[in-house]
Chain A
Amino acid sequence: MAISGILITLSHDSERQRLACERLRRDQRLVVGELLGRHVAASAVTASPDDDLALVDELRRADGVDSVEIVFVALDEHSGAES
C-alpha cells in the first residue's frame, strides 16, 4: 500500500480543465479536493510504490493536465532495497 499527496495543475483551457477534473473525481485511486485556481489537490492510494509512480505518470499524460507534483509521501509500507 502506498499513500501520497499530489498537486495537479490543470490546463488554462476551461473546458479541458472541467473534463480533467471530472475524470480525476471518478478515479477510485484518488480523493480529490476542491479546485483552487487551476490547481487541484489529491491524495492517492495504490497497491505499491510502483503503482503510485505509474499513477503519477498516467496523470501527467492525461489530457487537460499540465503538471503533477508529489508533495507528500507515506513511507512506512515501503521497504528499502540493496544496491
Chain B
Amino acid sequence: MSTVDRREFLKASALAAATAAAARASGISLPILEPQAAPSSSAQALRWDKAPCRFCGTGCHVMVGTENGRVVAIQGDQKAEVNKGLLCVKGYHVGLALYGRDRLTQPMLRTQGRLVPISWDKALDIVADRIAADPGRFAIYGSGQWTIGEGYAANKFIKAGLGSNLIDANPRLCMASAVTGFISTFGVDEPPGVYDDLDRCDVAILWGNNMAEMHPVLFSRLVDRRARGEKVVIIDLTTRRTRTSELADQVLFFKPQGDLAIANGIAHQLVKNGTCDTAFVAAHCNFRRLGEPGADGAQPDMLGVPMTFEEYAKALEPYTPQRVEELSGVPAESIVMLGDLFGRRDRRINSLWCMGMNQHTRGTAINCLVHGIHLLSGHFGKPGDAATSLTGQPSACGTAREVGTLCHLLPGGLSVTNPGHRAIAEKHWNLEPGRLSGRIGLHAVELFKRFSTPTDQGGDITTVWVQVTNPAHTIPDLNHSIRRKAQLADKFLIVSDVYPTATTELADLVLPSAMWVEKNGMYGNSERRTQHWFKMVEPPGEARDDAWQMIAVSRRLFDRGVPGMRDKDGRWLFHTADSAGKEIPIWEWKRYYSDTVVDERLFDEYRAFSRHKHKDLAPYREYVKARGLRWPVVQNSDGEWKETRWRFTEGSDPYVAKGKGFQFYHSVTKDDRALIWFRPYEPPPEVPDAEYPFWLCTGRVLEHWHSGTMTRRIPQLHRAMPKAYVEMNHLDARALGVRSGEMVTVRSRRGEVDLPVWLGGRGDPRPGEVFVPFFDENPLINRVTLAAYDPYSKQPDYKKCAVAVVPKA
C-alpha cells in the first residue's frame, strides 16, 4: 500500500473509531464494527487483534493494529465490556512502550563494573550455577505484570522444583492488604462485586482513591452516567484535593490514618440509629475482634475471637461523631451524613479503594472495616451495592493472587502452611508426598532486607532473580535495602527486563525480556476477569519470554540431575509432548513457539488448581474467543461456559445453594457467614514532629505507570509529565518562602531528595502535608519513605511518613 493510501486508510479508521465513540456517548445504537483491515491488495496488510492493555489493573481491552511486524495503531475495543471502546492516555499510547530506543536486546554480564554482552547459553548457565550452588539462598521476585503463564512457571519452578517458598511479587507492595481484608471477611480472596456496580450505584464513595488519574476509564464510566441524565453522587474521602475531587459532589478531607476512625464512626451511627440491616446480619454475619497479643508481644492471629453484637456495639461506643472528627478531621455532621447514607435501603452504595487503603500500616484493618459497614448495612451483593478494591497492576489478581506467586501461597488460593493444600498441589504436580515446603518464605521487604545484609550478618539470601519489576526504585527506605547491594560483592542480582532501570543498574546479570504483544499472554484484572492475547510481533534482538527463561534454566538444572526438577515418575517438571507422546524441547527458543502453545499448556495445568477454592477457570480456548471471563466460570448443561458477576449471591454465583439468598461458602467460621470485624483506630508508626513537620504521601500520576520505565519512553507521556515534583499547600510554601518551580530538599530520618515545588498544580495537599509522585528514577522518593508495614499483609505504607521540607539555597 502506498504511503498516501495508508494514511487515508488510517484517517478513515480514526474517524470510524471516533464515530463509534460519539454514537455510544449519545446513546445511539450502531452496530459494532470490527476495526477494518487494510485493503487486501496490500501484501503486508494492517491486521487487528485484541489484547488487554499493558498498564493498570482496570483491564481495558485494546485493538492492536500491526503491519510489517510492528504495532502501528491502537484503538479502544468496542466489544470489551470493561472499557466499551474507551481508553486513557496511557492506553492509547501503549503500543509505543515497545519501541523505546534503549530496549534491552542481549543478555549482559557485569564484568569489571560494566555490563558486557554474552550469549543466552552462557547467561542460562550462570543462572543455573548460582541456583545449584545454594538453592536455599536463592529467591525470585516477580510481578503483577507477569502473565499468568509466566507467574505459574516461576511458582512451579521454585515451589515444586527447589522445594522452597522464596518467591514474592510486587503486588505485596500494592494489593496485599486487600487480600488479607477479603480473607478475613469472606475466607477467600478477591472482590464479590464487579464493574457493573459502577453503572448501577447511586452513590460512589472513594476511600483515599484518586480514581480520575489512577483508573480513569472506570471513573469515566461512573461520571459519564451524569451526561446521560442519571444521578450518581460521588463522595471523595481524601487527604488532598485531586482531579477526582473536581468531579465529586462532596469532598471530605481526612487526616492520614483517619480512615480507621471514619469507618468506625459510620458503624457506630448504624448501630446507634438502629439502621443496621438486622435480617441480613442475623442470617449471614458473625462478629469478630482480634485476640490478645502473645506473651512475647506477638501480633494476635488473623482468625480473631468471636464477639456478640452487643459487644461489638459497645466497642464502637467511643466512635461518636465528635470523637471521629477529632481523630480524622472530618466534621461530625459529615460522619452523621455518612452513617445516615449507609442506613438507607433505597440507595445503592459502591465503596472503591486502591493504594490509599492498602498501603497502610493498618491496611488489613481498614479493608475489614469497609467490608464491615457494607455487611452491617446490607449494602452487599446487589447490583450497585459493593465494596470494591481496585488493583494497580494488570495481573496483580490474575498472576500474584490467583496463581499464588507470593511466599505463602500455592496456585488457586491454596496455602503453603496447610498440609491438605500442599497434598493437592503435590498431586497436581505429580510430586512425591511431602515434597513441598510448609514454611512461609520471605515477603518483599524482608526478602530485600536479607539480600542487602552481609551474609555473615544474617543476610541469608545471596541470589535474587527479579522479573518484570523494578525493586531498586519501588521498595521503601531504599537506602537501607536493595540499594546497599552495590557494596556487597557476594550477592548476585539477576534482572529480566525490557529497559535499563534502577534495578538493572545494580544487576550482575541482565536478561532481555519480550513484552506484551511480543509474546502470548493472559492477565487477570480487578473484577476477576481473565483475559487472553496472542503474540503479534517479534521481540527485538535476542529478547525472550520470561516464562521461557525460567523453563530453560529449569531444563539445565534437570540435565544436571537436580532432583527437584523431575516429578515422581522422573519426568521433567515442564515436560511437554506432542500428540504422539514425543517430547517437545520447549527449552530451545526456536521450538518454544513453533511446535506447541506453551502458554496454553501452562494455563490448562494451572486451571486444575482453580476449582478447589471455587475460582473455576474455563479452558484456555474459551478465553481466546472472549474479551475476558470473570471467575468462577462454570460449564452449563448446554456446554456453554458461564462467568459470574456477583459472588456469594444466589442467582449469580453458581455455588450458592438455592434458597440461601447469600452464602459465604468459604466462611472463616465454616457456617456460610461473613465476618464483621471490630478494629480500633490506631495511630501511624511515624507522625510529624518539630524536626520533621510534614506528612509525606507518595503516589502515581495519570501519565506514568509505576516506576515510569515504559511510560517515560513514550514521548507524548514523558513530555506531558517529564519529572517529579513536590506538591505542597500554598500556606506552607509561603511560610517556607518558596514558590512554584523552586527547589527544596525533602528529608526524612532515612534519606533525602531534591525536588521542585509545584503549587496549585494537579493536586493540592492540606496544610502540613506534601505529595511526591514516585515515577521518576531521578530522584528516587523511596530513599525517603518508611519501611513500616501492616503486620498481617506485610504491605508497606507509602502514604504517610514524617519529612522536613528545606528550601535549597
Identify whether the interface residues of A are mostly helix, strand, loop, or mixed. Answer: strand
CB nearest neighbor in B for A49? B716
Within B1-30, which residues are at the interface with A (CB < 8 Å)?
7, 10-23, 25-28
Do the beta carbons of A3 and B11 come within 8 Å of each other?
A: yes
Do the beta carbons of A71 and B715 come within 8 Å of each other?
A: no
Q: Shortest Cβ distance from B464 into chain A, in angstroms?
A: 24
Task: Give A43 to B175 CA distance when docked, in angstroms.
Answer: 39
Q: Mark A45-83, 1 if CB is under 8 A from B, else 0.
A: 100011001000000000000000111111110111111
Q: Which of B26, B28, B87, B708 contacts A71 (CB 8 A)?
A: B87
Do the beta carbons of A78 and B715 come within 8 Å of each other?
A: yes
Q: Shortest Cβ distance from A1 into chain B, in angstroms?
A: 7
Do the beta carbons of B92 and A83 come within 8 Å of each other?
A: no
Task: Give A69 to B71 CA distance when docked, in angstroms.
Answer: 22
Q: Which of A49, A69, A80 gathers most chain B CB within 10 Å?
A: A80
Q: Shortest Cβ distance from A12 into chain B, in angstroms?
A: 10
Q: Which of B25, B74, B102 gathers most chain A CB within 10 Å?
A: B25
Do the beta carbons of B719 and A50 come within 8 Å of each other?
A: yes
Task: Give A42 to B16 CA distance when docked, in angstroms.
Answer: 9
In the complex, chain A residues whose CB is within 8 Å of the CB of B93: 73, 75
Q: Which of B7, B718, B720 contacts A81 (CB 8 A)?
A: B718
Q: Which of A3, A42, A82 contacts B7 (CB 8 A)?
A: A3
Q: Mark A11-52, 1 if CB is under 8 A from B, else 0.
A: 000000000000000000001010011111111110001100
Q: Which of A4, A37, A72 gathers most chain B CB within 10 Å?
A: A72
Asked if B76 CB lies within 8 Å of chain A CBs, one says yes
Task: Give A49 to B73 CA distance when docked, in angstroms.
Answer: 13
Do the beta carbons of A73 and B15 come within 8 Å of each other?
A: no
Q: Mark B715-737, 1 if CB is under 8 A from A, else 0.
A: 11011100000000000000000
In the complex, chain A residues whose CB is within 8 Å of the CB of B76: 71-72
Do the beta carbons of A75 and B23 come within 8 Å of each other?
A: no
Do the beta carbons of B75 and A72 come within 8 Å of each other?
A: yes
Do the beta carbons of A37 and B14 come within 8 Å of each other?
A: no
Q: How large is the interface on B (under 10, 10 to 19, 20 to 34, 35 or more residues)?
A: 35 or more
Do the beta carbons of A41 and B10 come within 8 Å of each other?
A: no
Task: Give A53 to B15 CA distance when docked, in angstroms.
Answer: 17
Task: Give A6 to B14 CA distance when docked, in angstroms.
Answer: 8
Do the beta carbons of B73 and A73 come within 8 Å of each other?
A: yes
Q: Shortest Cβ distance from B74 into chain A, in angstroms?
A: 5
Do the beta carbons of B7 and A7 come within 8 Å of each other?
A: no
Do the beta carbons of A37 and B26 come within 8 Å of each other?
A: yes
Do the beta carbons of A37 and B28 come within 8 Å of each other?
A: yes
Do the beta carbons of B12 and A75 come within 8 Å of each other?
A: no
Asked if B384 CB lies within 8 Å of chain A CBs, one says no
Number of A residues near B (Cβ < 8 Å) is: 36
Known: A33-B19, A37-B27. A74 touches B73 (CB 8 A): yes
Q: Which of A43, A70, A81, A83 contacts B777 (CB 8 A)?
A: A83
Task: Give A76 to B74 CA distance when docked, in angstroms.
Answer: 10
In the complex, chain B residues whose CB is within 8 Å of the CB of A71: 17-18, 21, 75-76, 85-87, 92
In the complex, chain B residues whose CB is within 8 Å of the CB of A6: 14, 18
Task: Give A36 to B14 CA distance when docked, in angstroms.
Answer: 17
In the complex, chain A residues whose CB is within 8 Å of the CB of B18: 5-7, 33, 41-43, 71-72
Q: Which of B14, B25, B70, B712 contacts A43 (CB 8 A)?
A: B14
Do the beta carbons of A45 and B7 come within 8 Å of each other?
A: yes
Task: Give A80 to B14 CA distance when docked, in angstroms.
Answer: 21
CB nearest neighbor in B for A44? B14
Q: Shortest Cβ distance from A82 into chain B, in angstroms?
A: 5
Asked if B213 CB lies within 8 Å of chain A CBs, one says no
Q: Mark B200-244, 1 if CB is under 8 A from A, else 0.
A: 000000000000000000000000000100000000000000000
Task: Give A7 to B70 CA distance when docked, in angstroms.
Answer: 26
CB nearest neighbor in A for B71? A75
Asked if B95 CB lies within 8 Å of chain A CBs, one says yes
In the complex, chain A residues whose CB is within 8 Å of the CB of B715: 49-50, 78-81
In the complex, chain A residues whose CB is within 8 Å of the CB of B14: 3-6, 43-44, 72, 74
Within B550-581, which residues are at the interface with A (CB < 8 Å)?
none
Provide a sorted-by-A list of 26 A–B residue pairs whose CB atoms are within 8 angstroms: A3-B14, A5-B15, A5-B75, A6-B18, A7-B21, A33-B15, A41-B21, A43-B12, A43-B14, A43-B15, A49-B716, A50-B715, A50-B719, A71-B21, A71-B86, A71-B92, A72-B76, A73-B92, A74-B10, A75-B71, A75-B99, A80-B99, A80-B100, A80-B101, A80-B715, A83-B708
Q: Given A6-B18, A53-B716, list of 12 further CB < 8 A pairs?
A: A5-B17, A5-B18, A42-B18, A53-B720, A72-B13, A72-B73, A73-B92, A74-B14, A75-B73, A75-B74, A78-B96, A81-B101
